[in-house]
Amino acid sequence: MAQIIPFFSPAARQSRAAAHKALIGGFAMHRRSQDDVFWLKENAELLNILECTGADVAAEALAPLQGFYEGAARHISFFRQYYRFILSICLDLEDLGLPGETGTELAAWVQAQGLAQAELSDLQRAEARRLLARRGGELRDDGLDDRLRAFVSRPQTFAIPNKKAAYELTHIVFYLSEYGRRDPQLPQAALISLEFAGLVAFLDQNADLLAEICIALRYAGQVPPAAWEGWLDRQVSAFTLSEGEFSGLHDSYHEYFVVNWLMILSGRKAFRQAVPPGGMHVSAVRGGSILKRLSEAVFDAGAARPGWGAVKAQAESRLNEEEHGLLTAAERSCARFASFFEGFARAGSAGAA
C-alpha cells in the first residue's frame, strides 16, 4: 500500500548521508544519556521514521548506536518497563542495515517473559504486538483490533480538545496499518474521527498533532485537506536548529520529526535546514491558536449551544483579522465542519431533566 520515499530530498543543501550522520550522531551522543528514558524515546522515534520511510542509511551513520545495540540485552533485562523502546531501537537498527541478531533474540525473550502481559493499555499491547510480529512472534489478544476500531469510531470523542485521545487515535492507525504497509481497514466513522481531531489541531495551530493526523489519514488511504498540509508545509521552514549541546528538559524535536515525516509522505521537500554536527536544540514558531476564544464563544452561548450558524458571528467578533482567516480556512477545509461543530459545542447540560 505504502510508497517508499527517500528520507531526504535530493534538493536539500546538505547531502542525505551527511544529514543522516548528523541526526543520528546528535541524538545518540549529544542530547541525553542512555539511562534517560527520553534518550530512548527520541532515538526510537528517529529510527522508526528512518525505517518506515525506507531510508538508505550508511553503516557509518549508525555507528554511534553500536554500543547501545551491543549492550541492549543487559539494558532491557534491567529496564524491562522500557522494553518497547529498546526493542524498537534494535529492530530498526537491524532493518536499517546494522549487522546482528540482537533484535530477533530480544523479541523472542520479550515474548517468553510475557512482558506485554503487563500492559493495561490496548494501545501499548498493539505496539508490542507489532514489534513482536516483525520477527515472527505473536501476541494473542482476541478482540484487540475490534476494541481499537471501536475507540477510533466514535467521532464525538475527537470533536472536543483532548490531546491524549487524539494522539492515541493516530497511533492506533499507525499500528493497524503497520506504518503504511497495509490497509488499516478503518470504518467510515474512524475517518470522520481523524477529520474532527484534525480540525481541533488546526484551530489550535498544533503542528505536531496535525502532522500525525495527516500521516494517519495518508496511511488510511485518504488525502488530508489541502489547507492543513499547506500550513504544515510553511511550518517546515520555520524550525531553527541551534548548534551546541542540548540543554533543558524539552524542545520541539518531536514536532520537527513528524512534520518532516509528513513532508516525505506527501512528496514535499523535507528537512530544509542543514542539520548541525554534535548536539542541537530544535525551536519552532508558536502561537496563532484560536481554540480558547472559540471555546469561550461556545460556552457563553449557554446550555442550548446552538449550531455553528448561530454561534459563528459571536465567535468571529472575538477574533482579529489573522485569527478570522484561520477560522475561515478551517471552516472551508472540511465539508463536515458544521457536523464537527455540533460535537465541539457540547450542547445540553448534565443537570438537565
What would the DSSP string read from start to end of 240-267?
EEEES---SS--SHHHHHHHHHHHHHTT
Decide if 310 contacts 348 (C-beta within 8 A).
no
Residue 164 in any domain: the answer is: yes
Q: Do residues 230 and 328 share a domain?
A: no
Out of 243, 261, 289, a domain closes at 289
Residue ranges making up the domain that contains 243: 16-140+156-289
The three-class DSSP label of residue 310 is helix
The per-residue pLDDT for 155 is 98
pLDDT band at 313 (very low <50, low <70, confident <90, very high): confident
Cα–Cα separations (whole angstroms), residue 184 to 58, 99, 152, 201, 267: 31, 31, 12, 22, 22
The per-residue pLDDT for 342 is 87
Of residues 188 and 278, which shows the higher confidence score? 188
Alpha helices in 55-162 (DSSP H): 59-62, 66-70, 72-78, 83-95, 102-113, 122-133, 144-152, 155-158
Q: Do residues 116 and 57 share a domain?
A: yes
Q: Do residues 232 and 328 share a domain?
A: no
Residue 53 in any domain: the answer is: yes
Task: Supply 254's cell numbers.
Answer: 518531536
Cα–Cα separations (whole angstroms), residue 215 to 74, 220, 257, 310, 318: 35, 9, 12, 33, 32
Decide if 186 contacts 173 (C-beta within 8 A).
yes
Q: Do residues 176 and 280 share a domain?
A: yes
Q: Do residues 66 and 197 share a domain?
A: yes
Q: Do residues 225 and 324 share a domain?
A: no
What share of the chain has pLDDT > 90, as a percent? 76
Residue 10 in any domain: the answer is: no
Decide if 220 contacts 173 (C-beta within 8 A).
yes
The pLDDT tens digits for 159-172 are 999 999 999 999 99
pLDDT band at 7 (very low <50, low <70, confident <90, very high): very low
Please provide the DSSP assignment of 202-246 as one string.
Answer: HHHT-HHHHHHHHHHHHHTT-PPPHHHHHHHHHHHTT-EEEES--
Out of 240, 269, 289, a domain closes at 289
Residue 43 in any domain: the answer is: yes
Residues in the chain: 353
The per-residue pLDDT for 257 is 96
Of residues 293 and 216, which shows the higher confidence score? 216
Q: What rounded mean pLDDT belongs to the chain?
A: 91
The three-class DSSP label of residue 299 is helix
Q: Is the pLDDT of residue 327 over 60?
A: yes
Out of 289, 314, 339, a domain closes at 289
The pLDDT tens digits for 208-225 are 999 999 999 999 999 999
Q: Do residues 269 and 295 share a domain?
A: no
| Poorest-pLDDT segment among 85-94, 164-173, 237-246 | 237-246
* Nearest CA-CA partner of 47 in 131, 110, 139, 115: 131
The pLDDT tens digits for 110-150 are 999 999 999 999 999 999 999 999 999 999 999 999 999 99
The per-residue pLDDT for 317 is 86
The three-class DSSP label of residue 100 is coil
Q: Is the pLDDT of residue 11 over 60?
A: no
Residue 147 in any domain: the answer is: no
The per-residue pLDDT for 348 is 60
Q: Do residues 115 and 176 share a domain?
A: yes
Q: Do residues 312 and 344 share a domain?
A: yes
Q: Do residues 133 and 222 share a domain?
A: yes
Decide if 166 contacts 160 (C-beta within 8 A).
no
Q: Is the pLDDT of residue 98 over 50?
A: yes
Q: Do residues 124 and 247 share a domain?
A: yes
Q: Do residues 283 and 309 share a domain?
A: no
Q: Is the pLDDT of residue 343 over 80?
A: yes
Q: How many domains does the chain have?
A: 2
Q: Is the pLDDT of residue 234 over 60?
A: yes
The per-residue pLDDT for 10 is 40
* Nearest CA-CA partner of 192 in 236, 239, 159: 159
Residue 339 in any domain: the answer is: yes
Q: Is the pLDDT of residue 322 over 80?
A: yes
Residue 71 in any domain: the answer is: yes
What share of the chain has pLDDT > 70, as a percent? 93
Q: Is the pLDDT of residue 78 over 90?
A: yes
Residue 11 in any domain: the answer is: no
